[in-house]
Amino acid sequence: MTQCVRNVLVALVGVIWMAGAGADNATPWGRASLEAIDYKPEKVVYDVAVNSVEALSGVLDRVSYLNNIYEADPFEASIVLVLHGNEIPFFSVKNTDRYRALMQRAQSLTQSGPIEFRMCRVAAKAHGLEPEDIHGFVKVVPMADAEIVRLQREQGYAYMR
C-alpha cells in the first residue's frame, strides 16, 4: 500500500468516526461530562509562595472551595497553608490598613473550618519580620520546607502547590 493510499484511508476513517460520533468542527472530540465523585475529607498542606494579592486570593479561593467540599469537617479534614514567599508582608501587622480585606478573608477561613496558616520564620526574617510582627491567626514555624516534609511524612498530609 502506498503512502498516499494510506493517508487517504486514515483521513476517511477519521471522517467516518467523527460523523458517527456526531462531531462537528467546533467539537471534533465531543463534549466533556462531569464525573460524580464524593470526596472524603483529607489532610492537605498547601505550599504557598506567591508574588501578588491576586495570586494569594486565588489560593484562598481554592482552599475555601476544598473546605466546602470537605464540609468544613474539623474531625476528619485539616488544611494547612505554609507561607514562605513574597506574600509574607501581606500578613504583617504594619500592613494591616493596606491589606485589611485580604487579611479579614484569610482570618475568617480559620474560623469557618479546619484551616490554618503557618509561616516560615526564615522567610519572614528575610522580609525583615519577626513573629510579633505577624497577625495572631498565623503560627510561625522554624522553616517552611521542614514543616511541609514533617506534615507529609509524620502526619500523612497530601501536598498541594
Q: Give, to the nearest 10 degrees, the angle between helix 53-69 and helix 100-111.
A: 20
Query: Collapsing DSSP states into helix, strand and coil, what is residue 116?
Result: strand
* 105 CB-near residues (< 8 Å, 6+ apart): 57, 60
The answer to whether residues 152 and 159 touch, using CB atoms and an 8 Å cutoff, is: yes
- Residuewise pLDDT in 10s, the chain (161 residues): 555 445 444 454 555 545 555 556 899 999 999 999 999 999 999 999 999 999 999 999 999 999 999 998 888 999 999 999 999 999 999 999 999 999 999 999 999 779 999 999 999 999 999 999 999 999 999 999 999 999 999 999 999 99
Which parts of the chain are beta strand (E)?
A: 43-48, 78-83, 115-120, 138-141, 158-160
Q: Rounded to two decimals, what is the model's pTM?
A: 0.82
